[in-house]
Structure 1
């Protein structure tokens, strides 16, 4: 394993990469002997801008080692395609999987970065034909791209939305099969008004994922942990307790603070203790 400054707003020694992995995950990366609980997810699971993310806080509550495989700005594609991360997750007694949005998935309309799934790489010929008036060189992030396409034509955007729904369901089913169903889904729900500020017209986080979609995949695992109101640090008045650089404040404002991570850890631990 190796360590480096990830720019994720945490101490350098708290970010590492498993041997053979391309993803920088939250440390420490000393994988314990089984049984242990593995946590998969994006920036919230990683614990961006906080000293102690909820996987670390859950460990003493569940009485088992917890391995944080969360990766900032990642999505289902980056997790599924990283053999080292999946190998550690597959060896876990239980996996807690944060539900990620559908916007950060490569699909028939566009490609995303293989590791930073929030980054838009290129449109397909199908998308270029669907939106001939759009200059796609102007876009670097999937949210900006999709919000613009939605604003230009909600009717045409419905085709992209449908494709993203199908791809998200496919990736989730693949991930659940790879982990042999030993997965508890974690749904971190932000208030609608907060999601509108961050995600524009794409709805609440996780973006473009509905309860019906979650209901369709939850049966392939061990159930669902729902945290119904996730408060961002700025909303909760916790910015002084966050760890971020001068240019990272706008991003830190929208991430959960220490108190929210504590609440999530308690919800997760409660469910894991129920499972035994």
Structure 2
């Protein structure tokens, strides 16, 4: 099966060259430059979605970490990926488990399976009933519309309140399945990784909040698909992060919105440029002269800064020689 490859290179060519290369075991395409020969235990792996890949960013946090740590850092960011995507690609484990450390991003839950949609771990979903393949936003918008149709017998004012606060039972059931499966996918992923791991939260919001750190709590809404998803990582709340944190050897929280939204400039002329998002996905066709979704270059700098010292400590512990016991003390 050929996995969906986001056409970031075609879409963003005016702004940045991602220097894509094909990883030989999985035959998946990742952001370059292609790593040279990697000595076992002599490199770091960062795996995640578009945020790790570094859309519209010349030097994403894996590249910055390579400079900070003085060792190769392999960027395994893949557009639209969730934990299930990496769990179903065990051919990557040779590369991953050969690393001294593995940084695992907290990825979106909209790229997860449930009884209604099959994801394959990617954000393009297949409706199990019709076989139609659509974006997660369109898939869940249809689900919300079906739920709304079942509320037509209610008075209008009551119906509006139910749509916002409670939602249809089928919508709540699918969301609960999605979140449980997301946690299970992370368990499978971490079970396969033998190298030390660090879980990275990289977002404009904190895990317990729905949208930005200006909000006070997570409020699950059901009246609009974007409001229901929340900011990246979509559908992920505090209890989900708490469930997977113990699976990793370390945890780093990088909550930042520095430099966002990011104005986009041509790397050829230096002038402000509009990017046609439809060159990646037809359903996203829109000209945009700023990046308001993916982490800005400054946010990548913040992530690298937050990760650098914890990774140094873990690398130092891993490389420290074990002291031999004193024979007399053993006796």
Between the aligned partners of 1:59 and 1:15, the Cα distance in structure 2 is 18
Give, in whole Å, the separation in 1 of the partners of 2:176 and 2:259.
29
Question: Residues 253 and 27 of structure 1: is their aligned pair in 2 closer, same or farther, counting only changes over 3 Å?
Answer: same
Q: Extract unaligned runs of 5+ from structure 1.
A: 129-135
Matched residue pairs, number?
A: 258
Residues 65 and 308 in structure 2, CA contact (< 8 A), matched pair in contact too: yes
Residues 78/107 of structure 1: CA separation in 2 closer, same or farther (3 Å cut): same
The aligned runs of 1:46-195 (5 Å cut-off) are 46-112=53-119, 114=120, 117-124=122-129, 137=132, 140-150=134-144, 152-153=146-147, 154=167, 155-180=169-194, 182-191=196-205, 192-193=210-211
Tell me, which stretches of 5 or more residues in structure 2 are unaligned? 1-6, 148-166, 214-220, 278-286, 317-331
Partner deviation per Cα, 1:25-76 (whole Å, 9 max, x = no partner) = 1112225213211000000100112111110011121222211111122222
What is the distance in 2 between the residues matched to 1:264 and 1:177? 25
Distance (whole Å) between structure 1 residues aligned to residue 255 and residue 299 of structure 2: 12
Residues 264 and 159 (structure 1), Cα distance of their counterparts in 2 relative to 1, 3 Å cut: same
Does the 8 Å CA contact 2:144/2:225 hold for their aligned counterparts? no
Q: Alpha carbons of 1:193 and 1:163: their partners in 2 closer, same or farther (altered >3 Å)?
A: closer
Q: Give 3-state SS (helix, strand or coil) of 1:88's partner.
A: helix
The structure with the largest alpha-carbon Rg is 2
Query: Is the Cα contact below 8 Å between 1:6 and 1:24 reproduced in 2?
Result: no
Runs (4+) off by over 6 Å:
194-198, 241-245
Partner residue of 1:17? 22
**Which is worse superposed, 13-22 or 205-214?**
13-22
1:45 and 1:53 in contact (8 A); partners too? yes
- Once residues 145 and 181 of structure 1 are traced to their aligned partners in structure 2, the CA distance between those partners, rounded to angstroms, is 36
Q: Does structure 2 retain, via aligned residues, the 8 Å contact 1:37–1:92?
A: yes
Give TM-score scaled by structure 1 length: 0.81
Listed one character per residue, the Cα deviations across residues 179-225 of structure 1 (whole Å, up to 9, x for unaligned) are 03621111112245469999332223211112211111211211211
RMSD: 3.0
